[in-house]
Structure 1
């Protein structure tokens, strides 16, 4: 036990440690309260939901900021990236939940966020540190990570939406389907995730052109081209939703198309260099 406390002391300062532990406890407490309310079919008011969410999310944000920005660089390993993504998704769902009932989603999201914080705390500092970088380059990297991640989460969301739609059409209203918000609410959240992801992707591409030397250099060309293609696919989908009310299978196909372009942006160079060449 003493060795564990010594390790925790090495990982972070006392303020960050307290904030992280508090965020974990508040996440779990909020999730437990929501589970109880759902089981007893109790209504959670908007004000109460905001209070339940803002406290752990605020503590999570403070803890993450202390972990992310270190002296001389940015610590952006896998766990830190996942923690950042979880924070943004929680914030998007919380803001969306002020207008529509989405608190059931926190039954999964809050314990997952608590788990990521706990693993990050016990794993120690990440070895992936970007040092001696200009602040503009750091902003570009963070925007890219957030944009790609949110759009990938939107893809997972549309798959859940397709499953929910299939189950409802076949009158299978048991199991996981009972815990999900109404279909229209889930669909509305999907497009809010897509809007946020598209805005972040726009900023990531724009900052890349503004602050990086040559986005069409040999090692970056594929990523730039496929990122722009993904941007166009999501833009067409959002335009179709706004002007023609696209939904259902149409939204599924376009979202999956954008996801494929993002995957090619991430992994295309390795495929070309290691397989085709």
Structure 2
């Protein structure tokens, strides 16, 4: 099976879902969450076999840089779909769906060198919780951008357009912090399981990932404390959320990019 045709069609479906939801946000088309979910679900049905094929290409168990991003973005897209049944977070798909499709297309077109190594239940726990933490905090980052746009619009008394399409600001902020709490819980488990089950997480090839993961955890922990003790909200919450998620993005993929792309002859 060739992953590239699957990836191309998945990208088209992801983009179509994002465009419809984006046009809904701009009040250009009526809201049709069922259509958006159907398009994204069809994209995921193509994403999964393509990922399986890409994992089969890797000479080692752990996937390489491009395949890792495609895998984590598939998890993020799936979490958006499932969670949107219970929480108003489908708008996060406007950014995450096209990124998932683009990541899959790049992974299908570029070789990705896997990392040799065995797997144990402890390492599997680390991988699963890391992927879920990334998914939830990526959604939180997209949610934070929407909260920031909504906050700025209300400050300037722009109450039409996007503001009218979004839930109330208090609801948006509550959902944002629910995502951060859930992501932090999973990130904590991922860090602890990594320290327990991975040999020497401060070895040279893992040191950057470990330090940046701790930095992300620290930034988000300060944000949650600030929210609980001092009622942080608005643009302060947005900036801290994006900073913490930025550290996590660098932790997960920064070192892989340097080692596998920049330093590979």
Aligned match for 2:186, one of 191, 200, 206: 200
State the 1:116 CA deviation.
Answer: 3.0
Aligned match for 2:118, one of 130, 134, 141: 134
Aligned match for 1:85, one of 64, 67, 72: 72
Q: What corresponds to 1:54 in structure 2?
A: 41
State the 1:211 CA deviation.
Answer: 1.7
More deviation, 211-220/256-265: 256-265
Residue 43 (str. 1) matches residue 31 (str. 2): yes
Q: Deviations over 1:61-96 (max 9, x none)?
A: 332233135464146344323323322322232223
Maintained 8 Å contact 1:150/1:193:
yes
Q: How far apart, in 2, do the equivalents of 1:22 and 1:129 lie?
A: 25
Q: What corresponds to 2:101 in structure 1?
A: 114
| Structure showing greater relative contact order (alpha-carbon pairs closer than 8 Å, 6 or more residues apart) | 2
State the 1:144 CA deviation.
Answer: 4.5
Q: Deviations over 1:161-216 (max 9, x none)?
A: 22431222112356766776653454344334423432332232122222222335
Map of 1:221-240 to 2, 5 A cutoff? 224=210, 227-228=213-214, 230-235=216-221, 237-238=223-224
Q: Deviations over 1:221-261 (max 9, x none)?
A: 67545534543443454466578764324524643564576
Maintained 8 Å contact 1:73/1:130:
yes
Q: Deviations over 1:14-65 (max 9, x none)?
A: 4x455434423432443455456565542325x5554343222233133223
Q: How far apart, in 2, do the equivalents of 1:163 and 1:124 lie?
A: 35
TM-score when scaled to structure 1?
A: 0.66
Q: What corresponds to 2:153 in structure 1?
A: 167
- What CA RMSD, in Å, does the superposition of the two structures yield over aligned residues? 4.2
Q: How far apart, in 1, do the equivalents of 2:216 and 2:8 lie?
A: 38
Describe the shift of the 1:259–1:244 C-alpha distance in structure 2 as closer, same or farther (beyond 3 A): same
Greater Rg by CA: 1
Q: How far apart, in 2, do the equivalents of 1:194 and 1:26 lie?
A: 28
Q: How far apart, in 1, do the equivalents of 2:173 and 2:43 lie?
A: 26
